Amino acid sequence: MSDNTKLKISNGLNEDKYSVKSKFVNFFLLAMFTLFPLFYTDYYYNIRHDKYYFFLVVTAVLVLMIGAVAITNSDSQSGTKDKAESVPWCKKLSFTDYAFGAFILVCTVSTVFSQDPADAFLGLSGRNNGLLLMIFYAVVYFLITRFFCFKNYVFVALAGCSIAIYLLDILNCFYIDPLGMFASLTDEQTITNFTSTIGNKNLMSSFICVVMPVTVAFSVISKNRNHRIVYHISSAFGYMALMTADSYSGILGLGTVFAVLLIWFSRSVARLKRFFLATTIMLLSGKILRLFSFFIGDKSKGISEFQSLLVYSKIIWAAIALFAIITAILFFADSKIPDKTLPLAVPIIIGSIFVACIIAMLFAVYYFSVIDTKTNIGFLKSFLRFNDSWGTHRGYMWIRSFYIFGDFSLYNKLFGCGPDTFATVFEPYFEGLKHYGDSSTNCAHNEYINYLITTGIFGLASYLSIIFGALKGAIKSASKNPIAIAFAVSVISYAVQAVVNLAQPITTPLFIIFIALCEAVARKQKTTE
């Protein structure tokens, strides 16, 4: 079987047992990776609801199709009975499975005993993140983890669709609107909020954080040259879209991913050369964006100061030259000594530097927020000085959220006020938001604080356990099955940007899918072993 159709980068996911149920799961993934991001009905007016209902419908269709196969027994395998069938069902469940079950149980209790169970069930006062959506997430998770089988076309299609999403975002930044999406918006809405077919600029950054890590990782680990070209193109457009999305959450998520991938690939010269090639291409794409901006007269919505440094600064040419030289050296070294493995000390040193940088950043935030609150630190104030105004007044919402949690009863501390009912308990602080130009909010703009308030300690703990369990299984499997790292970095990227972003039915379903894919690879690897 050719490299286009059979997975050769790993023996962990064989395609010889590609069942009907697996086909249905891959069709579902194909729909979520291509149609879902592009789908809308009335421009930006209903875009969240459009994607919410799209996800519910395609999930329901998947359940019906797999259910029909199970009822008719048309997917039975010939030959001897699988040894796993004799194992009790409870022993087949992983840590992540139990964590997901616990999360749904906590959300159910939180919904039933909330002030408005109907609101908590549907997420009417929030962003549709009620119990119903959580149940659908659990269904998708369990179906993917049980029936996923790797096929290249699914992820090549994801890369291809993402190029279209990224290109729309880039064009929209320069007021080029091929879909006519801006026609019904005010000038202020066009400039500050909406882009591509994703919606809010923060959600666009969230989409980039989910998809771009996958394409970068596959551009390194894929053995098919044509596929790698597609992944490189997607990553380059993703980098340009990240520059124009005008949101620091994307920089936070992708910055973490590049550090993780550098550490992960640092022992293999063959993979390290491809990683530096991918990085060089992306940095060059930023300069291509600058050239595009120049030819249309620099008329754009504007790019944040940090992104402007990466696009407009001449210093970046030095970085591009450095990465290009490193890439050339690595290609030369790999040609002379194929499959060369570097000492274990290399990733340890890189990882130590990364950890030291995180500690230094945290100390800087503490220093300029508590010790030195007067020194003018320019645009770094947005990052390093935490107060009510920090992060487009996220500081105000986070601090008041902890006030609310402190006033909660013991029950509410454990189970929260009900899924996606943050607005209900935050209403006393709406008046203070007017100082920042807002009259209300329905989320904390930090997923973890939001889950703490709405589902309590138990809900947040189970949610974090889902992420931890999926990442643990994927990283453990990645040494034998490299595609696991492509799924893991997507989860890492989303989880990091979620510190300053929000859960919603536009990009969070994709995050849940990659959590499921992490667990699916780990489950398959465990079965194989």
Model pLDDT, residue 3: 41
pLDDT, mean of residues 451-471: 97
Q: What's the mean pLDDT in 408-430?
A: 96
Average pLDDT over the chain, rounded to whole?
89
Cα 69 to chain centroid distance, Å, stands at: 32
Tens-digit pLDDT profile for residues 17-47: 678 899 999 999 999 999 999 999 988 888 9
pLDDT at 245: 83
Which string of b and e fits 306-325 if b means at least 16 CB within 10 Å? ebeebbbeeebeeebeebbe
Q: How far apart are CA 55 and CA 236, in angstroms?
A: 28
Question: Between 3 and 387, whose confidence is greater?
Answer: 387
Query: Helices 315-336 and 269-295 meet at what angle, rounded to 10?
Result: 150
Across the range 436-452, mean pLDDT stands at 92
Percentage of the chain beyond pLDDT 70 is 91
* 120 C-beta neighbours (distance < 10 Å), count: 31
Among 260-274, 432-446, 480-494, name the one with the lowest average pLDDT.
432-446
pLDDT of residue 158: 97
Q: What is the pLDDT of residue 193?
A: 75
Looking at residue 271, what is its pLDDT? 94
Q: What is the pLDDT of residues 105-160, one digit of tens each?
A: 999 999 999 999 999 999 999 999 999 999 999 999 999 999 999 999 999 999 99
| pLDDT at site 186 | 67
| 342-385 pLDDT, tens digit each | 999 999 999 999 999 999 999 999 998 889 888 888 777 777 88
Q: Give Rg (Cα) of the chain.
A: 23
Tens digit of each residue's pLDDT (9 = 90 or more) over 290-320: 888 888 776 777 777 778 788 888 889 999 9
pLDDT tens sequence across 46-99: 899 999 999 999 999 999 999 998 888 766 544 444 555 555 555 689 999 999
The predicted-structure confidence for 320-335, as pLDDT tens digits, reads as follows 999 999 999 999 999 9
Cα 342 from Cα 294, distance rounded (Å): 43
493, 254 Cβ separation under 8 angstroms: yes
For residue 470, what pLDDT is reported? 96
Name which residue leads in pLDDT, 32 or 185. Answer: 32
Work out the pLDDT band at 438, boundaries 50, 70, 90: confident
Those residues with Cβ within 8 angstroms of residue 245's Cβ, 6 or more apart along the chain or in another chain: 169, 195, 201, 204, 205, 208
Please report the pLDDT score of residue 79 as a whole number.
43
